[in-house]
Chain A
């Protein structure tokens, strides 16, 4: 029985932990809230494992979202995932945050554009169809992302950035944009864990020293000195 722990800390929207097995979701904890990820992550992991009646030693792999999103948030999850994998000698899989947002829409035919808010009125975005990356990812203004989507007949927008910039996209793309109702605005730890399980089944190595964040933006240098 393969068991995978999924960790989501990559955006400010939510902290999430899930454990999944071959038969499906065993336990998941999610809470909205900013800047408390570092404090509550281990309480969540502890609760999820206990609720699923899974011991740490029984896990077969770790999966974690790697961004783009909050730089600090990404690092929290990746640092924990890498270290758990190091100590437990487990494979660890990084899943791009935009993919996490797109995966729940893989079964329907519309192209999906997940949007994660970034600083300075910008978003991280990419275009997926049936779980496959078609274009991007981009770090750009909502208007620039809209320009990339203009050639499409129809596109489904998801993620916190979709809600935040709904009016911009409606204005620039009109009837071509579709918003799911209700709009899921945070990446799901369950989706991350299932993606990890799939990679495990495919025989992916999941080397912890190869796991790195997807920042998508160079560091700001202004703080030097």
Chain B
């Protein structure tokens, strides 16, 4: 601690956002810079890995510069450099990792390798003054649908995941099918606001017993039912399809998350990840949490999508326990949670 508090520079390049942030004591965001590539990938209808990697290399150094200036700190003030090690796109992860290693090497600072999904959970530690263990966390994004049971900062257990598509991926695919554009989450949410969630009934495809989810069948059902309606000459409103699809995804997530809360007997449920920015999901979870007497914690939407402040926040607790990475550490596209 050079200034009476721990200053960590976080770097995040696991997918299509180039991000850097400076966070004090794992809690106070001094700067949080995100350079989004969404406009670039929009015309391809999804993230193109090689395009993303190239853009990260172009943007990361200026983004770090902005994050330091925005925080009003110089490189010499930092106590550690944190970077997303995985999971994510390998080529993209490597850009962030090599830049972080360079900084740690020259500045002789500890390097902290952070798990991307854990980082999402820590967005809640930035947003809320007190987060008590144990809790269940649901991390939903374009790449992940993970249910986690955590008893301490060093004990995160994966208790459920998607068997096929991530929830956000299902949003993207259905949005593309409906011609609503990319990214699918916000596009479907906008349409769904004018739709009737009961007008286009979809099967409830709950998997039994466990906490795993599945969205591939639901996506197929949307496409099948849509085509069936077209053949029969039925008039189907895109708004109704969007609303029905969104409601079904949220219902599946809700059932699994609250079942986990009951099974693990925890008082608190955390939501995180890009899909946690969805307004309908936030409302449904809030209502259900109140009814069941569960404490629900959500980050603000800006901290739900990929950012580096959450990386620095997660890294702070690794810093406290001396969990540092050597400069030989490699990126891992499929890094396991524990």
Among A38, A42, A86, A221, contact of B61 (Cβ-Cβ < 8 Å): A86
Among B46, B107, B327, contact of A42 (Cβ-Cβ < 8 Å): B327
Is A212 at the interface (CB under 8 A from chain B)?
yes
B-chain residues with CB within 8 Å of residue A87 when the two chains form the complex = 75, 102-103, 106-107
Asked if B98 and A38 make an inter-chain contact with CB atoms under 8 angstroms apart, the answer reads yes
> Whole-angstrom distance between the alpha carbons of A128 and B45 in the complex?
41
Stretch at the interface among A20-28, A75-83, A146-154, A164-172: A75-83
Asked if A225 and B101 make an inter-chain contact with CB atoms under 8 angstroms apart, the answer reads no
Distance in angstroms from B76 CB to nearest chain A CB is 10
Is B60 at the interface (CB under 8 A from chain A)?
yes
Distance in angstroms from B308 CB to nearest chain A CB is 15
A residues near B (Cβ < 8 Å) are 38-43, 45-46, 56, 71-72, 75-76, 78-80, 82-84, 86-88, 208-209, 212-213, 215, 219-221, 223-225
Q: Name the 3 nearest CB pairs between A and B, nearest first.
A: A219-B50, A83-B102, A225-B46
Asked if A80 and B98 make an inter-chain contact with CB atoms under 8 angstroms apart, the answer reads yes
A-chain residues with CB within 8 Å of residue B172 when the two chains form the complex = 225
Asked if A223 and B48 make an inter-chain contact with CB atoms under 8 angstroms apart, the answer reads yes
> Whole-angstrom distance between the alpha carbons of A150 and B91 in the complex?
38
Asked if A213 and B327 make an inter-chain contact with CB atoms under 8 angstroms apart, the answer reads no
Interface of B is mostly: helix
> Whole-angstrom distance between the alpha carbons of A36 and B128 in the complex?
41
Choose among B60, B101, B329 the residue with the greatest number of A CB atoms under 10 Å from its CB. Answer: B101
Stretch at the interface among B51-59, B210-218, B221-229, B268-276: B51-59
Asked if A86 and B65 make an inter-chain contact with CB atoms under 8 angstroms apart, the answer reads yes
B residues near A (Cβ < 8 Å) are 41, 44-51, 53-54, 57-58, 60-62, 64-65, 75, 90-91, 94-95, 97-99, 101-103, 105-107, 172-173, 176, 327-331
| Contacts A71-B53, A76-B98, A86-B61; A224 near B44 (Cβ below 8 A) | yes
> Whole-angstrom distance between the alpha carbons of A212 and B60 in the complex?
13
| Contacts A71-B50, A76-B94, A225-B172; A83 near B41 (Cβ below 8 A) | no
Taking A45-B105, A87-B107 as known contacts, 16 extra A-B pairs with beta carbons closer than 8 A to each other, sorted by chain A number, are A43-B327, A72-B90, A72-B94, A75-B95, A79-B57, A79-B95, A79-B99, A79-B102, A80-B99, A82-B99, A87-B106, A209-B61, A221-B48, A223-B48, A223-B50, A224-B47
B-chain residues with CB within 8 Å of residue A209 when the two chains form the complex = 61-62
A-chain residues with CB within 8 Å of residue B94 when the two chains form the complex = 38, 72, 75-76, 79
A-chain residues with CB within 8 Å of residue B45 when the two chains form the complex = 224-225
> Whole-angstrom distance between the alpha carbons of A56 and B97 in the complex?
20
Please, could you name 19 A-B residue pairs with CB atoms under 8 Å apart, sorted by A? A38-B94, A41-B98, A43-B328, A56-B106, A71-B53, A75-B54, A76-B94, A76-B98, A78-B57, A79-B102, A80-B99, A83-B103, A83-B106, A86-B64, A87-B103, A213-B54, A219-B48, A221-B48, A223-B49
Distance in angstroms from A216 CB to nearest chain B CB is 13
Asked if A83 and B99 make an inter-chain contact with CB atoms under 8 angstroms apart, the answer reads yes
A-chain residues with CB within 8 Å of residue B90 when the two chains form the complex = 72
Asked if A75 and B41 make an inter-chain contact with CB atoms under 8 angstroms apart, the answer reads no
Asked if A40 and B101 make an inter-chain contact with CB atoms under 8 angstroms apart, the answer reads no
B-chain residues with CB within 8 Å of residue A46 when the two chains form the complex = 105, 327
Distance in angstroms from B72 CB to nearest chain A CB is 18
A-chain residues with CB within 8 Å of residue B331 when the two chains form the complex = 38
Distance in angstroms from A4 CB to nearest chain B CB is 16
Give B90's nearest chain A residue, CB to CB: A72
> Whole-angstrom distance between the alpha carbons of A39 and B325 in the complex?
12
Asked if A221 and B99 make an inter-chain contact with CB atoms under 8 angstroms apart, the answer reads no
